[in-house]
Structure 1
Amino acid sequence: MVKRKKAAATFEHVEPIGDRVLVRKDEPKRETRGGIALPDAAEIPTITGRIVTISAVVENDEELPLRQYDKILFHPKNAIPVDLEHDNQLFVVPVDDIVAVFRRSTSPEVVEEADDD
């Protein structure tokens, strides 16, 4: 009798359910802008990342200003890690734990100077 090995199931897509988004966490900063090295134990409770996928509930909610690829600041307390690959840093994050969305302005502000004639 020949035993066959089952092929390992690989997941290619993760879709969050409910008021949640899938976020790829940014690498932690080890140095401040001024050049001060931070010790490994210095952990800030809020972290940044990019939204990879949003749930259908979030997508259809006009009051939530979240879109795919937005850079966000989130509190990791209720974030659920997703291990698809060993080096991925994916988390399913509840919308309530998203603190801020980073956006560039879509139209540059034009500053008009008054002529002093």
Structure 2
Amino acid sequence: MVKKKTDLQYIEPIGGRVLVLKDEPKRETKGGIALPDAAEIPTITGRIVTVSRLVAHDEDVPLRNYDKVLFHPKNAIPVDFEPDNQLFVVPVEDIVAVFRKDKPEEF
């Protein structure tokens, strides 16, 4: 059986989801302690590559392209484009924090 190569260039998340490029895992702490591969941290950081149309038009969800986010990986769906896959489709509910340079204006 011959595998057909797919020429997909773009992924658009649907519904309340964003596409996140996961940061490389840290193998050493700031103090120089090496972390074993089996040590799993329950949250992961990454950069938003794109947001769904629903998220882009929702004023209550302050997420934009290129935001650095902290997300819970439980419901994140890996996207298998390349062998060193680092892309995940993440539900907005699993984004637990956004890193900002400036504090947003008060409510």
What displacement does 1:7 show? 5.9
The equivalent position to 2:14 in structure 1, one of 13, 17, 21, is 17
**Contact in 1 for aligned 2:70/2:95 (Cα 8 Å):** yes
Count of matched residue pairs: 102
TM-score by length of 2: 0.89
Unaligned runs of 5+ in 1: 107-117
User: d(CA) in 2 for partners of 1:69 and 1:57?
Assistant: 17
SS, match of residue 58 in structure 1: helix
TM-score by length of 1: 0.82
Pairing 1:62-81 to 2, within 5 Å after superposition: 62-81=59-78
SS, match of residue 74 in structure 2: helix
Output the amino acid matched with 1:12: Q
Aligned residue for 2:94? 97
Identity across matched positions, percent: 74
Larger Rg: 1
User: d(CA) in 2 for partners of 1:95 and 1:6?
Assistant: 34
What displacement does 1:88 show? 2.9
Matched, 1:27 2:21: no
User: d(CA) in 2 for partners of 1:95 and 1:52?
Assistant: 14
What is the root-mean-square deviation in Å for CA atoms of aligned residues?
Answer: 1.6
Runs (4+) off by over 4 Å:
none
**Contact in 1 for aligned 2:78/2:85 (Cα 8 Å):** no
Unaligned runs of 5+ in 2: none
Matched, 1:38 2:35: yes
